[in-house]
Amino acid sequence: MSTEDLERYEAEMELTLYREYRDVVGIFKYVVETDRRFYLCNAVDVKARTEAGEVFFEVSMTDCWVWDMYRPARFAKGVKVLTFKDVNVEELNPSDMDLPEK
């Protein structure tokens, strides 16, 4: 497989992922962004934790969709993330979900 073939494959995968996102965003209430992933979910709980003087965040989500083109299944019943970095949680408004047509 050439570098060009690999780049074309990755571009195709990203486009497929975007199309899937566009199709499912309307069924979710929250967008959650961590340092490693982007999630859509219907319930989210973020707790700041301290252990050995270090602060980290425990993020629990239910009814999730994960933005990751390498996952074979992007839907998950529940996800728990532990991170030392920022966590961004936004509640979606129905008007936020109006995406451009194909």
Q: What is the mean pLDDT of each run of 10 residues along the chain (102 residues)?
A: 88 91 94 95 97 94 94 93 95 68 58
pLDDT of residue 98: 56
Predicted structure pTM score: 0.81
Considering just the CA atoms, what is the radius of gyration of the chain in Å? 16
Q: Where would I find the beta strands (DSSP E) of the chain?
A: 30-33, 38-51, 54-67, 75-83, 88-91
Sign of CA dihedral 56, 60, 66, 68: positive
Q: What are phi and psi of 87, to 5 degrees?
A: -125, 130
**Sequence-separated (6 or more) residues with CB below 8 Å from residue 55:** 48, 49, 84
